[in-house]
Amino acid sequence: MPRISPIAENDASEKVAQTFGRIRELLGTDEVPPMFLAMGRVEAFLRDAFMNFKKFVWTDGAIDSQTKAALALAVSCHAKSEPWTEFYAERCRATGFSDQQVAEIIAVASTNYMYNTFFKFRDLSGSDLFEGMGVGLRAHTFANTSLDEKTVELINTAVSDLNACQPCTSGHVESARKLGIKDDQLLEAIQCAATVYALAQFTNAAG
């Protein structure tokens, strides 16, 4: 039994029902995805979730909606949220990514975990003993997918931030700027990641 039972649309309060209607309209579906139904138990959270989702995850902004879909998939995998991972994998396909590219998005995010773990260790060890030692980890994935460089770099920046790897995050921000990614685009990538992560955590906790 779920810890937070979803609320049926016909049982929802007026304000919750209005937000459910806006979600259906935005997604172009007849039914509200079940992840949002559980959020309907807390009207203020549902409203925040919808507004942030609409602005930072679903629609074009400083970065386009296809890139946001890739970010969302990477972050939902990070959050270990099966419903959202399936949701964003389908969103990636709907925005033009192939099945191969969906796999590549996940592979890029996973490769980033190796580097985050390594460089975070060097940063947290409180010692310079490891500074002169090579990384020794293969990461050819970053440069050998069909994804464009900017998408890869935004995924790397978002995942590094979620993993709290300071040297990796600052390094990817610098690399992103060299690729011509603007500051407002970097910020929106993090706003996208923050929204996706928050919604996934609620869904995980709801059970």
Domains of the chain: 60-206 (1.20.1290.10)
Task: Find where tokens 């629609």 sit.
Answer: 59
Q: Could you tell me which of 43, 102, 48, 100 has the C-alpha nearest to residue 72? A: 102
Task: Work out the mean pLDDT of the chain and round it to a whole number.
Answer: 93
Q: Give pLDDT tens digits for 144-165.
A: 899 999 999 999 999 999 999 9
Indicate the DSSP class of residue 164.
T
Residues 6+ apart with CB under 8 A from 83: 33, 34, 35, 203
Q: Give pLDDT tens digits for 31-58.
A: 999 999 999 999 999 999 999 999 999 9
Residue 140 pLDDT greater than 70, yes or no: yes
Q: Provide φ and ψ at 194, rounded to 5°.
A: -65, -45
Q: Give pLDDT tens digits for 78-105.
A: 999 999 999 999 999 999 999 999 999 9
Q: Torsion-angle region of residue 174: left (phi > 0), alpha (psi -120 to 50) or beta?
A: alpha
User: What is residue 129's predicted lDDT score, i.e. its pLDDT?
Assistant: 66
The residue-averaged pLDDT of 183-193 equals: 98
N-to-C CA span, the chain: 8
